Amino acid sequence: MDTTKLSKFYKKSHEEKIDALFEAGVISDEDKQTLLSNNLDLNLETGSNMIENHLGNYSLPLGVAMNFVIDGTNKVIPMAIEEPSVIAAASFAAKIISTGSGFSTDVPDRQAIGQVTLKHVDNMAEAREIILNAKQAILDRANEAHPSIVKRGGGARDLIVRILEDTDQPDFHAFLSIHLHIDTKEAMGANIINTMMEGIAPYIEELTGGTALLRILSNYATESLATSQCVIPAHALKTGKYTGEEVRDRIIEATQVATIDPYRAVTHNKGIMNGVDAVVAATGNDWRAVEASVHAYASRSGQYRSLTTWEKNEQGDLVGSLTLPLPIGTVGGAISIHPAAQLSHTILGHPNVNELAGILASVGLAQNLAAVRALVTYGIQKGHMGLHARSLAISAGAKGEQVQQVADLLKQAPHMNLATAKEILKDFFK
């Protein structure tokens, strides 16, 4: 990628931006023409094959975040999101992080989890032993239920058994939960896993005498973790009257607050997910699955906490880290069908699923840095409302060049809201 073609990207016109991506080698000529003709939507036929009672398509803006250097490689990050300032914030934070050594990621071997949950098991301990002794036969049956993933080098790898007991719920009888750890290769794997779970349930019933109540994947993707880390020299954090050291220490303190206070942690983590969800959506992945998994992971200690850690090293640098469970894929679901998802994978340079997981964790880390840095210095509204002004101008009815003109006047007005935007439009342009 020739990053020199991408400098001052945000200042370019729409056409210039597309051209710069082409010149930098990020997209092909065909992609360029698709973008220029704004032809990224699903067609009606595809949409009606994807969901039921289809009426039309619902578009989100697709943009790109810049300045990401992940594991030594420059990346342009596609993001599908309606919220102003998220892309600007990610790009800004990535620039700060690139003054250090950029992002370094760690994605251990990923395995998805499927569960068969049994009721009416007479002797839990005995059933557990029977299942553990039949482990290989159960794994074999799971693989026979979905042979194509085995041909691709994946398949069921491990089995664990959990006895679910709860003395607090009235009329509760214990359940037996059998987990399979499954390598679904490049797929998120929901359909593979569900097929496997339905495939092994009768055999498990036969072995234990129990009845299968549930047979489905677990969205708590604790075996699909991705970590991104960064080391930022303190001087790179300086802003206005705040020294870099002050900003660093305030970011550390803000993260301490988000580690002990769930009211703050939820907002802190929402900021992380602003970036993560936007890339998950852009790449055609299931953001409900990722959201469910990530927030459960934030509660793994028994209390909902910050997903990021920010600390100071011996040199006085700010060291950040984010680990996320990421049930994602690079094939399957909407990924191979949606033209915008295909373009997003192209923009990212067609990463494999492990690389995509590392990219998502890096975007989350950048997003968190941007939000917390703004919060502990001049506040979040300064940057946010500047961009929000454009949305208000459009909502008020501004068109073309009027949008920026109304937004500029709105930024100087005592109350930045829709009513003021409408007044400005009426006074100056009618």
Q: In the complex, what is the shortest distance from the CB of residue 81 to ligand NDP, in angstroms, rounded to a whole number?
A: 19
Task: Give the CA diameter of the chain.
Answer: 81
- Tell me: does residue 182 bind ligand NDP (CB under 6 A): no
Q: Is 16 a catalytic residue?
A: no
Tell me, residue by residue from 150 to 179, as one string, x for binding to ligand NDP by CB under 6 A and - for no binding.
--x---------------------------
Q: In the complex, what is the shortest distance from the CB of residue 197 to ligand NDP, in angstroms, rounded to a whole number?
A: 11
Query: Of residues 180, 190, 281, 298, which one binds ligand NDP by CB under 6 A?
Result: 190
Name the residue nearer to ligand NDP (CB basis): 182 or 234. Answer: 182
Query: Of residues 331, 337, 387, 403, which one binds ligand NDP by CB under 6 A?
Result: 331
Matching residue, tokens 């509760």? 172
Reading phi first (left if > 0) and then psi (alpha if -120 to 50, else beta), residue 93 is in: alpha
Q: Is 158 a catalytic residue?
A: no
- Tell me: does residue 333 bind ligand NDP (CB under 6 A): yes
- Cβ atoms of 224 and 193 within 8 Å: the answer is no
Query: Of residues 149, 201, 280, 290, which one binds ligand NDP by CB under 6 A?
Result: 149
Encode burial over 152-168: b for 16+ CB neighbours within 10 A, e otherwise: eebbbeebebeeeeeee
**What is the distance of C-alpha 307 from the center of its chain?**
13
**Structure tokens given for 228:** 């991104």
Neighbours of 393 (CB within 10 A): 25
> Which of these, 357, 75, 70, 78, lies nearest to 230 by C-alpha position?
70
* Strand order across the 225-232 sheet: 73-80, 62-70, 103-106, 225-232, 318-325, 308-312
Size of the site for ligand NDP (CB under 6 A): 21
Q: Interface residues for ligand NDP in 265-304 (CB under 6 A)?
A: 286, 289
**What is the distance of C-alpha 282 from the center of its chain?**
10
Interface segment toward ligand NDP; rule CB under 6 A; list 117-125, 137-145, 316-324, 326-334: 326-334
Q: In the complex, what is the shortest distance from the CB of residue 356 to ligand NDP, in angstroms, rounded to a whole number?
A: 13
- Tell me: does residue 189 bind ligand NDP (CB under 6 A): yes
Angle between helices 339-347 and 262-282 (to 10 degrees): 100
Query: Of residues 191, 222, 256, 309, which one binds ligand NDP by CB under 6 A?
Result: 191
- Tell me: does residue 187 bind ligand NDP (CB under 6 A): yes
Neighbours of 310 (CB within 10 A): 26
- Tell me: does residue 192 bind ligand NDP (CB under 6 A): yes
Q: Interface residues for ligand NDP in 196-225 (CB under 6 A)?
A: 217, 219
Q: Interface residues for ligand NDP in 10-39 (CB under 6 A)?
A: none
Q: Is 71 a catalytic residue?
A: no
**Structure tokens given for 97:** 């992080």
User: Which member of 83, 246, 261, 291 is catalytic?
Assistant: 83
Report the chain's C-alpha Rg in angstroms: 25
Pairing of strands 112-119, 211-218: antiparallel
Q: Is 427 a catalytic residue?
A: no
Matching residue, tokens 């069921």? 156
| Contact set with ligand NDP (CB under 6 A) | 148-149, 152, 184-192, 217, 219, 286, 289, 329, 331-334
Looking at the annotation, which residues are catalytic?
83, 270, 286, 384
